[in-house]
Amino acid sequence: MTAASGEALDPTLRELLAEDVGAGDVTTEWTVPENVRASGRLISRSPCVVSGLPVARRTFTLLEPRLEWWDEASAGSTAAAGDALAKLAGRARPLLTAERVALNLLQRMCGIATATRRYVEAVRGTGCQIFDTRKTAPGLRVFDRQAVADGGGSNHRAGLFDQVLVKDNHRRLAGGVAAAVRAARRRAPEAMAIEVEVETEEELREALASGADIVLIDNQTPDTVRRWSAIARQARRPPRIEASGNVTLESVRAYAEAGADRVSVGSLTHSVAAADIALELAFESA
């Protein structure tokens, strides 16, 4: 996984800033004198799990190369309402111009990390891992994946290129589970996992016979996951078991206790409840 920090993210961050700034920040440029400096704090107004401070810092730095920054919290730590996450200082104009983009990303990442932590805590002691999915906002996947990791979760495939995942449409168009797995196995590097989504017991048994590395039991009840997991454990090469499909915080432990090695949760990234974070600045003459 590529960490969401550093110069590798600059093209994306510059695009996000350009979307917001356009031809110029007229409010800041017309009201704040050019020689004014500012210092301040990023404050969490709601309890959250911290994620995204390097992203926020880099966003400010792109507009204020002389930014001074001090972390007050670490990735994966828990912040209470009123806690300072970071302190910063620099020229007032670029800080104000970068504020919204930096906060949007920071709030989203803290929100994802917070939701992930709740799921991780819900399955604690079962040995089950919480995974994200590809249901991310276009252009923001690297940030979303980092936030899941900061919340204690695990990252699924990064995209379409790094793991085979045979889903319902693939099964139909390839001529069935076995045909799809055979075709993928011929092309896939030895270390690349082949995962098969199954929705019936027949598809499960076909996936087991074809030697799938991971079986994704989709849109089933915990009772079905328990029964199908027992079947899968009897295979010559037992696969890892993943459960997915409308899993909620209230139901996730039942899936873990039913035998899932991992549960993938799309809502971690497709239905983000952003944390409430504010930038409080004080102005000083240069």
Instruction: Count CA within 13 A, CB hemisphere, residue 248.
Output: 3
Examine the domain organization and report whether 44 and 62 are in the same domain: yes
Where in the sequence is the domain holding 220, given as residue range(s)? Answer: 163-265
Any idea what the CATH number is for the domain that residue 180 is in? 3.20.20.70
Instruction: State pTM to two decimals.
Output: 0.94
- Categorize the per-residue pLDDT at 285 as very low, low, confident or very high, splitting at 50, 70 and 90: low
Q: What's the average model confidence in pLDDT over 32-48? A: 96
Alpha-helix runs per DSSP H in the chain: 10-21, 26-31, 53-63, 92-122, 141-150, 168-174, 177-187, 201-209, 222-233, 252-257, 267-270
Burial 213-229 (b: 16+ CB within 10 A, else e): bbbbbbebebeebbbbb
Examine the domain organization and report whether 85 and 173 are in the same domain: no
Q: Look at residue 284 in the predicted model and tell me its pLDDT.
A: 75
Examine the domain organization and report whether 45 and 90 are in the same domain: yes
- Tell me the pLDDT tens digit for each residue of 213-271: 999 999 999 999 999 999 999 999 999 999 999 899 999 999 999 999 999 999 999 99
Amino acid letter, 237: R
Please check whether residue 167 lies inside any domain of the structure: yes
Examine the domain organization and report whether 276 and 202 are in the same domain: no
Angle subtended by helix axes 222-233 and 201-209, to nearest 10: 30
Please check whether residue 204 lies inside any domain of the structure: yes
Do the strands 78-79 and 84-91 form a parallel or antiparallel pair, or are they unpaired?
A: unpaired
Token duo for residue 72: 């007050």
Please check whether residue 175 lies inside any domain of the structure: yes
SS3 121: helix
Any idea what the CATH number is for the domain that residue 50 is in? 3.90.1170.20
Q: How many domains does the chain have?
A: 2
Examine the domain organization and report whether 104 and 177 are in the same domain: no
Do the strands 214-218 and 68-71 form a parallel or antiparallel pair, or are they unpaired?
A: unpaired
- Categorize the per-residue pLDDT at 1 as very low, low, confident or very high, splitting at 50, 70 and 90: very low
Alpha-carbon distance 269 to 115, whole Å?
9
Please check whether residue 145 lies inside any domain of the structure: no
Examine the domain organization and report whether 250 and 280 are in the same domain: no
- Tell me the pLDDT tens digit for each residue of 76-105: 999 999 999 999 999 999 999 999 999 999
Examine the domain organization and report whether 232 and 276 are in the same domain: no
Please check whether residue 90 lies inside any domain of the structure: yes
Amino acid letter, 278: A
Residue bearing tokens 């440029």: 29
Which residues have a catalytic role annotated?
Answer: 100, 135, 167, 197, 218
